[in-house]
Structure 1
């Protein structure tokens, strides 16, 4: 549920992103306006090449927009130096990717503690163990990624993303490399983060079942927001919308 009188976690105002120049220029985002309210779960869908990943990268401050304005947790990022932008991402943005991106030489606990240490903060006693407990892996704190299943590694990645209590967590196809059971568990954890901790989650996915866990589904095509479903929607309804959009755009 959106928190009353709270500014959006992320807002994109007229955001464009162009790669290349001249005849070879490719417009990935085209004057896009979208708001991700605090305390909500939004799924971003669309055909291949629609701009989903570019939206995530610009909204998260991983890539700079060519035009328009990106605002993260009330801070416009366009005028920030690279150092200031890095600090903002470390403190206010969490990431979960299809590839778990854990450091193989570190234990689960050390991987989870890493964002805190990069931000210059020593973890409080029990803080990391408690976060691993939230994803059901307190008993795996001393295990390295190679000793964990894919689903367990992704759950460690979720704990790592949430340990700083970010303003927004971006998830890019977080279930794409997992079996069905592990994927359901990851989606349950993301949903719980929203419902129990007022976390904001923005998830890029091609999977209607995954998108059905969100409060809202937004659909992109040619770098524009072309459709949306507000309120909990079933996977079948989302699949129908997706198929229609792909048919229109083909």
Structure 2
């Protein structure tokens, strides 16, 4: 049977402008008593809707903890997180699960694709888990966007690392989320494959209006963002925006922090 290319479909998350993620006096402590370690100290920051934010810092600076609290994966010790218009502290665990499922996308360093499923089935999985029937044309258009339409029937093991991560990006976008959280999405990729993944995330922001929040250690990856937040010892110590965001400026800032 001859395969016909699906019609072009535009994905547009529902956003109301303003802030996609709002952090107020955010504090996170791991452990208790003498063993307590403060991972985040009084973080205050708003991430605009439809923007690309990179979060950087030395190892142990609190980058992943910040992402986990912002995404509702971990609850802060104090302070508040408002995500997609919902104050997370007010939500039950079930409500948090539904929020993450329906309005948030996730991209991880290790892809987290299901080995037994085809590329298309992996991308459609969030819809299936939500009890929603995937629209074939919408799914195929998304696969075309990430360059995997001709590989949609393959299993993850048949793909390169870069192709697997592109499938993971498509899976994160398939529900039309308001925010995509990406944790070191290029960390396991070569430079060319990493460039492809960053280009997809950038296009999600520019073309779809998605908000992307990305943790990275790589100045070249961070340079794709609209703003770069720099953490040190759990504190937000620097913010770069606009013309300040260059690979050289980011690398210099990180060199100073590493001492």
Report the TM-score, using the length of structure 2 for normalisation.
Answer: 0.92
Do the aligned partners of 1:17 and 1:67 also contact (CA within 8 Å) in 2?
yes
Q: Distance in 2 between matches of 1:6 and 1:196?
A: 15
**In the comparison of the two structures, how many residue pairs are matched?**
245
Q: What's the counterpart of residue 181 of structure 1? A: 192
Q: Distance in 1 between matches of 2:234 and 2:59?
A: 11
Q: What's the counterpart of residue 12 of structure 1? A: 23
Matches within 5 A, 1:31-180: 31-180=42-191
Alpha-carbon RMSD: 1.4
Q: What's the counterpart of residue 248 of structure 2? A: 236
Do the aligned partners of 1:170 and 1:201 also contact (CA within 8 Å) in 2?
yes
Once the two structures are superposed, residues 166-210 of structure 1 have per-residue CA deviations (whole angstroms, 9 ceiling, x without a partner) of: 110011110000011101111111111111111110110010000
Q: Distance in 1 between matches of 2:16 and 2:98?
A: 26
Q: Secondary structure at the match of 1:116?
A: helix
Offset at residue 132 of structure 1 (A): 0.9
Offset at residue 126 of structure 1 (A): 1.5
Once the two structures are superposed, residues 153-178 of structure 1 have per-residue CA deviations (whole angstroms, 9 ceiling, x without a partner) of: 00000000001111100111100000
Q: Distance in 2 between matches of 1:93 and 1:207?
A: 24
Runs of 4+ in 1 over 2 A off after TM superposition: none
Q: What's the counterpart of residue 8 of structure 2? A: none
Between 1:32-41 and 1:151-160, the stretch displaced more is 32-41
Report the TM-score, using the length of structure 1 for normalisation.
Answer: 0.95
Ranges in structure 2 where 5+ consecutive residues have no aligned partner: 1-14
Q: What's the counterpart of residue 246 of structure 1? A: 258
